[in-house]
A and B are shown apart, each in its own frame.
Chain A
């Protein structure tokens, strides 16, 4: 069988990462930005797991990605609560409308 080397996985990780960054940069919807964050974290996770198989990182890579998943869930919960709170006060989740604090 033709094996897939580490490079394929790293490329996927990079694509996820960059898509996430673009998503964070362009989306005006608060929840859209959060999705970008999830993509970025996932890109990193793909890297970790790929290194754990192909590199000398071993099981540590997999465990790191486990913790990242858990932390990402926590972060998403808080971010969502904040977005909801913002919505309750401003009746929109358009991040660009968060422009009252300036100076």
Chain B
């Protein structure tokens, strides 16, 4: 069952990604991107990361990609809809890409991840997700732990342990990202808004 689901999602994610590369039409690319990102969300659910999966759907697929498509609609009029890469470039890039992929996959898969994890865990403690009792009713309910961690408290790591200092909480990034988003929003709005009016009208 798990294998079946994994195969479906993984195939869709990879297939979507490859289709993005091969497609020449921007809107189709966006569509394949949606498939790829959506299936990635499926993979996240399989990895017990339900909150991340939902965020992926809401922000990435529902927000970012819609934004991209919106951009396509504002810019890609007729002739620019399909800006073709030259075939020579494509072939070259795909060859290099395939080599690169081979390299990354071979390197990454050569590692004995489980062995490493066991080795590290034997010295540094068990990973928090495996801790029984914290995740309610089966696996994947990580919302509470993530919520607490975003406020800086790592109940999943620290409860019942003897530590001098609290484990890494994420209060700072959670807060500072909001400043960042504000700044970025201002910047994007500045660039996107119409050029300045020459004489300031008294009434909008």
Contact = CB atoms under 8 A, between A and B. Distances in A.
Nearest to A16: B17
Nearest to A92: B80
A interface, by DSSP: helix, strand, loop or mixed?
helix
Given A32-B26, A74-B184, A19 B75 contact: no
Contacts of A56: 117, 120-121, 124-127
B170 A63 contact: yes
A16 B13 contact: yes
A16 B75 contact: no
B interface, by DSSP: helix, strand, loop or mixed?
helix
Contacts, number: 250
A35 to B, nearest CB: 5
Contacts of B59: 69-70, 73
B1 interface: yes
A98 interface: no
Contacts of B184: 74-75, 77-78
Interface string A19-57: 111110111111110111011001001100110111111
B108 A14 contact: yes
Interface in A47-101: 49-50, 52-60, 62-63, 65-67, 69-78, 80-85, 87, 92-94
A3 interface: yes
Contact of B40 (A3, A42, A67, A85): A42
Contacts of A87: 74-75
Interface in B148-198: 149-150, 154, 156-157, 168, 170, 173, 177, 180-181, 184-185, 187-192
B2 A62 contact: no
A8 interface: yes
Given A9-B43, A65-B49, A18 B100 contact: yes
Given A4-B3, A32-B29, A39-B33, A52 B129 contact: yes
Interface in B99-129: 100-101, 104-105, 108-109, 113-114, 116-117, 120-121, 124-129
Nearest to A94: B83
A5 interface: yes
Contacts of A12: 10, 13-14, 40, 43
Nearest 5 pairs of A and B residues by beta carbon: A19-B17, A58-B128, A81-B191, A22-B97, A81-B188
25 contacts: A7-B109, A10-B113, A11-B105, A11-B109, A16-B36, A18-B100, A28-B84, A38-B64, A38-B68, A52-B127, A54-B113, A55-B116, A57-B127, A67-B177, A69-B52, A71-B177, A74-B181, A74-B184, A75-B184, A76-B64, A76-B67, A81-B191, A83-B71, A84-B191, A84-B192
